[in-house]
Amino acid sequence: MDISTLTRLDDTRWRLEPSGRMRVPAVLYGDESLLRDMDDKVREQAANVAALPGIVQAVEVMPDAHWGYGFPIGGVAAFDADAGGVVCAGGVGFDISCGVRTLHTGLEEAELRTRQASLADALLSHIPAGLGSQSGITLGAGEMEAMLRGGAAWAVQQGWGEPRDLRRIEEGGCMAGAQPEHVSERARKRQRREMGTLGSGNHYLEVQAVDEVFDPAVAEAFGLSPGEVVVTIHCGSRGLGHQIGTDFLRDMLPAAAAAGIDLPDRELACVPLRSALGERYLGAMRAAMNCALANREILAHFAREVFADHFPGCRLELLFDVSHNTCKEETHRVDGRERRLFVHRKGATRAFGPGHPDLPDDLRAVGQPVLIGGSMGTGSHVLVGTEPTVSGAFASACHGAGRAMSRHAARRRWQGRDVVDELARRGILVRSPSMRGVAEEAPGAYKDVDGVVLAAERAGLARRVARLRPLICIKG
């Protein structure tokens, strides 16, 4: 990116001043190196989002941002429904409620190493992964309806999870306001056999070791200690969410024109929040959020079965589960007053700080765990939300390392088998049904996650708590 077009506010905050059709500025987070490495398309897309009706304060662009569909991935924007604000399907994305959950195992790395290979094989065998993957769970019409309304709470009721998990899941494991009646039959059909599956792309299940602790007090509150083994799951709403995004983007394009919205980019097709189509999308999107929450709960259940078989008595306790592709109605202070806003986070994680009323009682004093996925050969991070007065990005932070090159470019540069062999030499076991998928997700295809989270910390978006090093990666 040409940073000469930006105003530098400090070491990690840059401002794109309003021009042309922009109604608000854009604020980009990251050090100079991260900003220079971003595609110029990120700036262009941020400027386009800033031109949408009813947008509030600024478009916020996270340190891991890269070019996406309509919105940049790593983009955050809030809209006021009472000021003509819009909801934009491209501002949520196709993988609705894609997110991350991390679970404690109570094991130490040395103990895990004694059964590392057999555990990796068993996880791949037990957890469906890959393009079009299906599980042994088949949902009838009534079960589909219940899942879309109940989320992770439904999964627990079916025996695929633990009741104690729900207090550590965003929204208590069930997103209110879901309206399954607005989910198409095609979306339902795509999801009928996909509950409890990882899918493909950048989705994964990783077994990791706590490699380094940056904030001992918060790490203790989160139950994280050096050498401890954890399990992290990254996935979303699978085919159902993708179909909902496809359905509503198609419907929003003509509806935007009918509403008199002059779109800067057709990929930003949107409608007023206070419109029938806007309300239908929000209802369907919330149902997809419940699908994702249920999916991650079932995957955790499958992982628990494998760990219990290999390490009798091992119980995977949930640290937290949070999404990073959503639109949520939240209260934020803007210009000195509280406002109800619809916050679009696309490739950005909610990061509530200490004292937030939506956090579980036992986490409220320290803040929300912010789970940042890295690449399979580098590492991931646990951060914690900061005080609202510190972060001006609508309580949002980055969500991962962010791609540095396209999947096509990665395939040209790496062979999947070579990546697997190199990581094995470093003690990281990769299991995947697709060597092509492994090549696309090669560690070198991603930005430096350590640099991304350090920039997020310096910008006040969230604070580093612990770094996680991969031991096993199940990849779609």
Give the active site residues.
399
Distance separating alpha carbons of residues 206 and 247, to the nearest angstrom: 32
Exposure string of 155-190, with b = 16+ CB inside 10 Å and e = fewer, is: bbebebbbeebbebbbbbbbbeebbbebbeeebbeb
Torsion angles phi and psi, residue 44, rounded to 5: -60, -45
Q: Left (φ > 0), alpha (ψ -120 to 50) or beta: where does 346 sit?
A: beta
**Hey, is 172 helix, strand or coil?**
helix
Query: Measuring CA to CA, which residue among 468, 225, 462 is closest to residue 349?
Result: 462
Burial degree of 104 (CB within 10 A; 0-12, 13-18, 19+) = buried
Tokens representing 135 are 């599980």
Could you tell me which residues are beta bridge partners of residue 468? 210, 380
Distance separating alpha carbons of residues 224 and 319, to the nearest angstrom: 9
Exposure string of 294-303, with b = 16+ CB inside 10 Å and e = fewer, is: bbbbbbbbbb
Distance separating alpha carbons of residues 138 and 144, to the nearest angstrom: 9
